[in-house]
Chains A and B, each alone.
Chain A
Amino acid sequence: MMRRRFLVLTGSGLIVPLAPMHPARATPVQVAALIAELVGDATLRDERVKLDLPVMVENGNSVGMTVSVDAALGDVRSIDVFAEGNPLPHVLRVRFGPRAGAPRIATRIRLATSQTVTAVAKLADGSCWRDRVDLLVTLAACID
């Protein structure tokens, strides 16, 4: 499980770990294409979706996230989340049934690097809404 890391000892006596070679990452263009496919002919508008994520992330291995939609439950067809800086950008898709108490989901996600995360909600009337969070993933100092 141990990955090889390169460590540099700076003059101040601090250890600065350098990240390993970056794995392949998705790009904003790829994510835009995925979202375009999801949205189809509808216009993607801000508002009505709330994506809660910390803007400063202590460890990208597990980042608490909540997505909620300001709409009646029956009107929400799906929620999708995309992380454009991850190797595989699609994070989650949720659909709600009649017994859901609110169009809301909370989970924990992986973020490979600092990036923009986008949540898209598709409503039954065909309208599509989104929220985006730009966040900074700080590198843990002492890594396994």
Chain B
Amino acid sequence: MIWRLAFATMLVLAAADKRSGYQDASPETRAMQDDDASNPGFLWVQQGETLWAERTGNAGRSCADCHASIRGVAARYPVFDARLGRPITLAQRIQQCRVERQGAGPLAPDSDALLGLTAYVGLQSRGMPIQVSIDGPARPFYEAGKALFETRQGQFNLSCAQCHDGLAGQRLAGSVIPQGHPNGYPEYRLEWQGMGSLERRIRNCMIGVRAEPFAADSPELADLELYLGWRANGLDVETPAVRP
């Protein structure tokens, strides 16, 4: 156990050792991500781009009517929302805008429309380093997320940290265990045969260790995403990434 903790600490300290899941993917999967014309994630980006410009809701406003440029925005999420008094993910911000500013109904979680909008916004930060802030009021939520990451859970009694800090780079069956950085979401996952969110990925991990997954949009997931974002600081945004 001690060596695992030591290894985990080393990983967190040495930013240069941060590895995007891209580096652990096969050359074929990387090539699929590298070429926008063959990256299926762009089917969702295309949908998001259309929705971005579409006037909707009681306000009859489009996203583009208010937001001229969203370059770099996705690289900072999750952010602390002062009014809510807690961190909010990019998808939650998009939902908030829809409901409060556009007067439209929220999109279904993990729907193609929400994934598309999030991917479109994410793409505007592609190539920019993740810069998630845990300063000031965000700090306790970061601590909560970190604690969740390090808490053993489920029938297998495993924490996120045991695999993604302690055993990253080693193999689980035929696959390399990645460090688990959220730098490409929403991402096109070959396993899903489609696009999916970080929340979906985390829920799958929890099912994998036989734990009860956190509910969609639960505070736990936002805290965990805040911790994961901070942990990935400095890695380039790859949205829409392609992963096995």
Residues of chain A at the chain B interface (Cβ within 8 Å): 2, 7, 9, 13-17, 54, 56, 58-59, 61-64, 138-144
Contact (Cβ within 8 A) B191 A61: yes
Per-residue interface assignment for chain B, residues 18 to 46, with 1 indicating a CB less than 8 Å from any chain A CB and 0 otherwise: 00000001111101100000000000000
Beta-carbon contact of B204 and A64 below 8 Å: no
Decide if A138 touches B190 in the complex (CB within 8 Å): no
Q: Taking A9-B156, A58-B244, A59-B244 as contacts, is the C-beta distance between A141 and B190 under 8 angstroms? A: no
**Smallest Cβ distance from B176 to chain A, in angstroms?**
9
Q: Which residues of A contact B32 (CB under 8 A)?
A: 62, 64
List the 3 shortest-distance A-B pairs measured between CB atoms, nearest first.
A138-B174, A141-B172, A59-B190
CB of B208 closer than 8 Å to a CB of A: yes
Decide if A58 touches B177 in the complex (CB within 8 Å).
no
> Could you say which of A2, A54, A61, A140 contacts B28, with CB atoms under 8 Å apart?
A54
Report whether A141 and B175 are in contact in the complex, using a CB–CB cutoff of 8 Å: yes
Query: Are the CB atoms of A142 and B192 closer together than 8 Å?
Result: no
Selected from B25, B192, B205, the residue in CB contact (under 8 A) with A58 is B25
B173–A138 contact, CB under 8 A?
yes
Number of contacts between A and B (CB, 8 Å)?
70
Question: Measured between alpha carbons, how far is A49 from B190 in the docked complex, in Å?
Answer: 28
Residue of A nearest to B203 (CB): A144
CB pair A141–B156 under 8 Å, yes or no, is: no
- How many chain B residues touch A (CB < 8 A): the figure is 28
Q: Is the CB–CB distance between B205 and A142 below 8 Å?
A: yes
Contacting residues, chain A, for B193 (C-beta < 8 A): 61-62
Extra contacts besides A16-B172, A61-B191 (14): CB < 8 Å: A9-B156, A15-B208, A16-B173, A17-B173, A58-B175, A58-B190, A63-B28, A138-B175, A139-B174, A141-B173, A141-B175, A142-B172, A143-B191, A143-B208
Whether a CB of chain A sits under 8 angstroms from the CB of B148 is no
Listed by A's residue number, 18 A-B pairs whose Cβ atoms lie within 8 Å are A7-B156, A13-B162, A14-B172, A15-B172, A54-B27, A56-B26, A58-B26, A59-B29, A61-B190, A61-B193, A63-B28, A64-B31, A138-B174, A139-B173, A141-B171, A142-B172, A142-B204, A144-B191
Question: Of A14, A54, A141, which contacts B26 at CB under 8 A?
Answer: A54
- B167 / chain A contacts, CB cutoff of 8 Å: 13
Interface positions of B from 153 to 194, Cβ below 8 Å from A: 156, 158, 162, 167, 171-175, 177, 190-193
B94 within 8 A of A: no
